[in-house]
C-alpha cells in the first residue's frame, strides 16, 4: 500500500530549484531545467517506505533527440552466469549488490523479531484487560527497523536499476539493430 496523491492542476517552475504545486506550495527539486519547453498535465506525490517523498510528472514534451546511426547489428543472449552475452563475444557480468542485500536481510530479521515481540505485548495487554492497552503503532523500535530495512532494499534496487539503465543506454548508442 503506497501513500500517494494525484492532481491535474498546473505546475509552475519558480526559479532554478523550485516548483509551485497546488495545495503543497513550493517544493525544492533539482530537475527544473528539464521542464523548460514542456506542459505538465498531471502530477503524483508518493511517500515511499523509506520516508522520502517523490514527485512524478506526466508532461507533453517536444520530439526527443535521436542518436546517430552506427550501421552495426548485434544479437543478445540473456544468461544465468552472465547478465548478457553479445553475438560478437562481449560479456556483461551480472550486477552484484550483495552488500546492501545482506544488510537488508539482517534488517528484515530484526524487523520480523521486533514486530513479533510487539504483537505479543499487544496481545498480553488485551488478555490482561489493561486500562490503557498498547497498540502496535506505539512500538517505535520495529518502525525504525522497518525504515532501515526499506532503505537498504531501496538502495540495492536503485543500484540494480542504474546498472541496467546504463547498460541498455550504452547498447542502444552502440548498435542500430538489436536482436
Q: Which of 73, 130, 108 is nearest to 138 (CA)?
A: 130
Say how many C-beta atoms besides its own lie within 10 A of residue 21's C-beta: 20
pLDDT at 152: 94
Query: What is the rounded distance in angstroms from the CA atom of residue 15 to the CA atom of residue 62?
Result: 22
Query: What's the residue count for the chain?
Result: 179
pLDDT at 102 over 90: yes
**How does residue 20 score in pLDDT terms, banded at 50, 70 and 90?**
confident
Say how many C-beta atoms besides its own lie within 10 A of residue 83's C-beta: 16
Q: Which of 50, 49, 40, 46 is nearest to 19 (CA)?
A: 40
pLDDT at 110: 96
- pTM for the model: 0.75
User: What count of Cα atoms within 13 Å lies in the side-chain half-sphere of residue 90?
Assistant: 10
**How does residue 128 score in pLDDT terms, banded at 50, 70 and 90?**
very high
Q: Which of 8, 4, 80, 6 is nearest to 41 (CA)?
A: 8
The three three-digit cell numbers of residue 80, written as one number: 544465468
pLDDT at 87 over 80: yes
Amino acid at each position: 500500500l503506497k501513500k500517494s496523491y494525484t492532481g491535474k492542476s498546473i505546475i509552475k517552475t519558480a526559479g532554478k530549484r523550485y516548483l509551485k504545486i497546488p495545495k503543497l506550495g513550493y517544493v525544492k527539486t533539482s530537475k527544473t531545467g528539464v521542464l523548460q519547453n514542456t506542459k505538465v498535465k498531471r502530477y503524483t506525490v508518493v511517500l515511499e517506505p523509506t520516508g522520502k517523498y517523490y514527485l512524478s510528472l506526466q508532461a507533453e514534451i517536444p520530439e526527443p533527440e535521436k542518436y546517430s546511426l552506427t550501421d552495426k547489428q548485434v544479437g543478445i543472449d540473456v544468461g544465468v552466469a552472465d547478465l548478457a552475452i553479445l553475438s560478437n563475444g562481449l560479456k556483461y557480468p551480472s550486477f552484484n549488490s550483495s552488500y546492501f542485500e545482506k544488510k537488508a536481510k539482517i534488517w528484515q530479521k530484526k524487523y520480523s523479531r521486533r514486530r513479533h515481540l510487539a504483537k505479543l505485548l499487544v496481545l498480553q495487554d488485551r488478555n490482561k484487560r489493561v486500562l490503557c492497552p498498547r497498540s502496535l503503532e506505539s512500538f517505535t523500535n520495529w518502525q525504525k527497523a522497518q525504515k532501515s530495512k526499506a532503505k537498504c532494499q531501496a538502495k540495492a534496487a536503485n543500484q540494480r536499476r542504474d546498472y541496467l539503465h546504463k547498460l541498455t543506454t550504452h547498447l542502444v548508442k552502440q548498435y542500430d539493430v538489436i536482436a
